[in-house]
Each structure stands twice: as structure tokens, then as C-alpha cells.
Structure 1
């Protein structure tokens, strides 16, 4: 039996206009998975289901 290998990579991006960037990514096919009210980031997934976060610029 062959097992598929999973490559895990953490991708986070910081943008000055957080909500505008999230909107742009959604228009490109991403899905918002979580927008925690007490955290500054938004969790999204690309069309293949790979999760990533968008954070406000420092």
C-alpha cells in the first residue's frame, strides 16, 4: 500500500489593508474559514483547502 506524503507549510501574510486583502483573496477563490473576534488575523483556505492566515501589518 502506498501512502501519500503531505507537505505542511505555514503561510501567513501581513497586509496594511487587511479586509481589502481578504476580499481580494476571496475573489480569487479563497474561502474564509475563521475570523476570531479576539484575534487580529483571519484564517482562509485556498481552492485546494490549504489553510493560511492574513494578519494586519505591524
Structure 2
């Protein structure tokens, strides 16, 4: 049996990007001696995000992305944009979700409330 432990994200600056995501999610950040940044959810609330240093640039749309379900979509979109996210068009057209990117260009979606 497998358990999803971590979602790994390549980053130019793991500590900076990890801190950004920690602020977005309200989860604690830990950086180890190798410079890897861990953003850890409260127990039972998801998998840890692990940010790893890579030299190469992100050049195409993510093959895997994160989706978040808010209580208030517009409030969360506004909040995350104010923290430094950007709107992106990946060809999604008019949808009920909003596609954004983190400061290093990794796409994620904020869905409509359930």
C-alpha cells in the first residue's frame, strides 16, 4: 500500500518559494541543512510540499498542478494575488476555476466553492 507523503516542486530558490507557499497556506516552513524547504500541513490535511533546488527554468505548462477549494473563491483569489501570485492563461477559456501561478510560474487553480 502506498501513501502520498510529499509533493515535490522544483525551484530556483526553494526557501523563498517555500516561504511563499507557507504564507498562502498558513502552514509552517522548515528548511533543512541542504536548503530543501518543507511546508507541512496540519495532521490529516494533506501532503507535505517539498521545494528542491534546480538550475533549469520552467518553460512549459505544469504536467501536475494543485487545486484548492475555498469557502469564498473571489476572496482567496484576491488574497493570493496580493501575496504575489499572477493570473495565467493556459488555454482554459471561461471556467468556474481560476488559474494562477506562484512567483516561479507554477500553475495552480482556485476552484469554485463546493
TM-score normalised according to structure 2 size:
0.41
Q: CA RMSD in A?
A: 2.4
> 4+ residue runs of structure 1 moved beyond 2 angstroms?
34-37
Aligned length: 53
Matched, 1:15 2:64: no
Q: Which ranges of structure 1 fall in alignment gaps of 5 or more residues?
A: none
Q: Which ranges of structure 2 fall in alignment gaps of 5 or more residues?
A: 1-55
Native 8 Å contact 1:15 1:55 kept in 2? yes
Matches of 2:88 and 2:74, distance apart in 1: 14
TM-score normalised according to structure 1 size:
0.75
| Equivalent position of 1:55 in the other structure | 111
Larger Rg: 2
